[in-house]
Amino acid sequence: VAPRPNAPQEVSPARRCAYAVLVRVFEHGAYADEALRAQAQAQALSGRERALAMRLAYGAIQRRATLDHVIGELAERDVGRIDPPLLNALRLGLYELLYLQGSPAYATVAQAVELAKLQARAGHGLVNAVLRRAAREGPAALLGALPEDTPERAALKHSHPAWVARLWWQTLGPEQARELMAADNEPAEVAVRANTLVADPDALAGRLPVASHRDPRLPEAIVLEEPFDLHASPLWVEGALSAQSRAAMLVSRALAPEAGERVLDLCAAPGGKTTHLAALMQGRGEVVAVERDRRRAGVLARTAERMHAGIVRVEVADAAQPRAEAPFDRVLVDPPCSGLGTLQARPDLRWRIQEDAIGTLARRQREILDAGASAVRPGGLLVYSTCTISPDENERVIAAFLESRPEFVPDGEAQQTLPHRDRTAGFFIARLRRE
């Protein structure tokens, strides 16, 4: 017998997990990835349940601006006046109704109401009323009519802060800005890098539990068709692979270090690029990996060990300080940035980053770039990379640098990958040579 549309429902483990993640992120300021990891572990979710919980939680977090707009309209009140535990149940239920549509609407509504009941003493009637109305009206009526003819309206439709929409409107033009924002709400690519120090990429692809495809430009990249719990895999423990976007892999490839060289890696933790450099060098030479944060430096050292990157020497230091030792053949500068190229994978980031942080970041980036540049030997190479789409942190940092350091010249065009076009994270990569 099918459950009656209004019968109380047992909340599924994936929804319970997703709801807990929303509460941790929006009520307690937690990071979405850490909250998901902790909650999935606490509930001992299966791989499938975890994947569904991730889809629900990340989607509802990313779509918050659009969801809150619809909730405000349907509830006929300002969302700021809705109790946070109820609001988060509404966001989760509405996200599922409007964007996923995998389950029968009555089950989605009933389970959101149950979540609200568990967390809030009163008010679940509102959750029931709003979600039932949303289920009746449907996505075409509620979302289809949202305009996107100005940056502010497109920001609401594609759920981004208005300043980000304005920035991309100016930088990329309206059409690409809209496509980029739409892509930011899709699941991130799930890519792994085969550690060529210990594994053959083709053989490794065959040992993975999910289907995958390859990228002719990056022989070490394996792009998975669906996520799996990488960290629980023996392949991860053996150091045969690590999770990394293809855009991030392009960075170490751009530096292109050779076996036996001395390489400086500034701002190195958690070590994705450091260990890639060591693999490209076939484990011969030296990589000095500089990280200021002691805890993150510890993570980096453990990653290097797991990935059999014995040529990595971790140093806890400020990368902006001048260096005393002999100059390096190649230097990578990968400083902190606004991260606007990684909004698919970091769903809460768009709601954290403030417009006025960009100027401060750009100044720090320039200081670290200058220190890195001074450590390059004549004839050596310098690569500057960020995971953002923000001219102040990218093109303008490089232009100002080249202006004041005439001994450096661009080595090829700078690259900017774009999630909607390249189906990977948005990275900026500039390669410069010291004459």
Ligand X SMILES: C[S@@+](CC[C@H](N)C(=O)[O-])C[C@H]1O[C@@H](n2cnc3c(N)ncnc32)[C@H](O)[C@@H]1O
Nearer to ligand X, 123 or 336 (CB): 336
- Binding window for ligand X (CB under 6 A); candidates: 56-64, 133-141, 270-278, 341-349: 270-278
Using CB under 6 A, pick the residue from 271, 285, 341, 419 that binds ligand X: 271
- Binding window for ligand X (CB under 6 A); candidates: 30-38, 184-192, 263-271, 415-423: 263-271
CA distance 37 to 17: 10
At 205, which amino acid appears?
A
Residues contacting 407, CB < 8 A, separation 6+? 378, 434, 435
CA distance 293 to 267: 9
Q: Angle at CA 360, nearest 5°, toward 358 and 363?
A: 110
Q: Angle at CA 240, nearest 5°, toward 284 and 315?
A: 50
Nearer to ligand X, 364 or 420 (CB): 364
Site membership for ligand X, residue 393 (CB under 6 A): no
- Binding window for ligand X (CB under 6 A); candidates: 90-98, 107-115, 261-269, 347-355: 261-269
What residues from 285 to 314 belong to the interface with ligand X (CB under 6 A)? 290-293, 296
Using CB under 6 A, pick the residue from 56, 70, 267, 375 that binds ligand X: 267
| Smallest distance from ligand X to CB 354, Å | 18
Active site residue 267: no
What are 342's two structure tokens?
């990684």
CA distance 201 to 240: 9
What residues from 325 to 364 belong to the interface with ligand X (CB under 6 A)? 334, 336
Site membership for ligand X, residue 272 (CB under 6 A): yes
Nearer to ligand X, 290 or 307 (CB): 290
| Smallest distance from ligand X to CB 259, Å | 21
Nearest to 276 by CA among 383, 367, 188, 361: 383
Nearest to 67 by CA among 89, 87, 91: 91
Nearest to 131 by CA among 220, 32, 258, 5: 5
| Smallest distance from ligand X to CB 370, Å | 12
At 347, which amino acid appears?
P
Torsion of CA 151, 157, 163, 164, to 10 degrees: -100
Eight-state DSSP code of residue 379: E
| Smallest distance from ligand X to CB 121, Å | 42
Site membership for ligand X, residue 269 (CB under 6 A): yes
What are 418's two structure tokens?
């774009």
CA distance 17 to 6: 23
Site membership for ligand X, residue 97 (CB under 6 A): no
CA distance 196 to 369: 29
Using CB under 6 A, pick the residue from 172, 249, 319, 340 that binds ligand X: 319
Site membership for ligand X, residue 270 (CB under 6 A): yes
Element (H, E) at 317: none
Measure CA 184 to chain center.
Answer: 10
| Smallest distance from ligand X to CB 267, Å | 3
| Smallest distance from ligand X to CB 248, Å | 6
What residues from 8 to 37 belong to the interface with ligand X (CB under 6 A)? none
Nearer to ligand X, 18 or 277 (CB): 277
| Smallest distance from ligand X to CB 367, Å | 8
β-partners of residue 218 are 215
Site membership for ligand X, residue 318 (CB under 6 A): yes
Distance set, CA 164 to CA 156, 345, 388 (Å): 11, 17, 11
| Smallest distance from ligand X to CB 68, Å | 30
17, 267, 337, 387: the catalytic one is 387
Site membership for ligand X, residue 434 (CB under 6 A): no
Nearer to ligand X, 187 or 270 (CB): 270
Number of residues that bind ligand X (CB under 6 A): 18
Nearer to ligand X, 227 or 270 (CB): 270
CA distance 64 to 10: 25
Residues that bind ligand X (CB under 6 A): 267-273, 290-293, 296, 318-320, 334, 336, 368
Active site residues: 387
